[in-house]
Amino acid sequence: MESFDETSGDAGASSGASQTVKAQLGLRELILAGELAPGARITELWTVDRLGMSRTPVRAALMRLQDEGLLDAVPSGGYAVRSFSRAEVYDAIELRGTLEGMAARLAAERGVEPSLMAAWHECVGEIDVLLASPKMSEAKFSRYVELNERFHRLLASACSSRVVERQLAKAVALPFASPSGFVEVQAVARDAYQVLVVAQAQHRAVLDAIERREGARAEALMREHARIAHRNLENALKDQAARSRLFGAKLIREDAAPE
């Protein structure tokens, strides 16, 4: 009788999931880098050939990118690259801010484990060191992006809600909704350093509110913090130098700003 090796089965499933993620990231990069313009048709066979991968992970990756909002299914088969209005980008940012506000409130109300809070303070402390001087090199700015992303990941973990953490992960995956989605745009703004200082002050205020168990204050501060991305979006659309630094800028339509 043939035996079933559970370990082998788990390894196979893990490998398949890894290939799907690899295909998803590869195709997302092609889209956001502008190699596939809005409206461009994408078929499963084309993607298999372009990425050099088998059909199963490619099929799953295309479905995931449709869920993320980067692709639309075409009735005749395949997918098409989407474009986005300003209003859609605003809404994605607002959704992420709403969920992060909720996460901050829950963290304040439920309390945060000391080890996680220590890691959070360490992250904010490293940002303080970066911002000690107003001279921001490319290396320092890249490090800021990494630390900013870490701050937001720690927030998701601190809320002690797997439901909120999962929904927040979905929101962050929406096109242009990432906490660092528009941070690169700040690098060419005249008041780049001042904006980073304001963002850091908000980081510190959120931590203070959470430690004081002030849920409503933590929520309001986190929602306001997310809206810095609205300002960066407007900068990107008004200034060519800023727009050139925005990954995926070609997907944003030149519609009127939402009221």
pLDDT on residue 7: 45
Angle at alpha carbon of residue 163, lines to 160 and 168, rounded to 5°: 90
Confidence class for position 9, pLDDT limits 50, 70, 90: very low
pLDDT on residue 12: 47
pLDDT on residue 39: 92
Instruction: Assign domain 13-81 one CATH number from 1.10.260.40, 1.10.10.10, 2.120.10.30, 1.10.3720.10.
Output: 1.10.10.10
Tell me the one-letter amino acid at 222: M
DSSP 3-state of 245: coil
Residue bearing tokens 């630094």: 245
Domain ranges of the chain: 13-81, 86-251
The answer to whether residues 81 and 251 touch, using CB atoms and an 8 Å cutoff, is yes
Q: Does domain 86-251 have CATH number 1.20.120.530?
A: yes
Confidence class for position 86, pLDDT limits 50, 70, 90: confident
For 81, residues 6+ apart whose C-beta sits below 8 A from its C-beta are 31, 36, 37, 38, 39, 40, 42, 70, 71, 251
DSSP 3-state of 189: coil
Distance separating alpha carbons of residues 60 and 72, to the nearest angstrom: 14
Residue bearing tokens 């509110």: 209
Least confident span in 3-12, 70-79, 123-132, 210-219: 3-12
Is the whole model's pTM more than 0.85, yes or no?
A: no
pLDDT on residue 11: 47
Distance separating alpha carbons of residues 114 and 111, to the nearest angstrom: 9
The answer to whether residues 81 and 40 touch, using CB atoms and an 8 Å cutoff, is yes
Task: Please report how the helices 114-130 and 138-158 are oriented relative to each other, as an axis angle in degrees rounded to 10.
Answer: 160
pLDDT on residue 251: 85
Q: What percent of the chain has pLDDT over 70?
A: 84
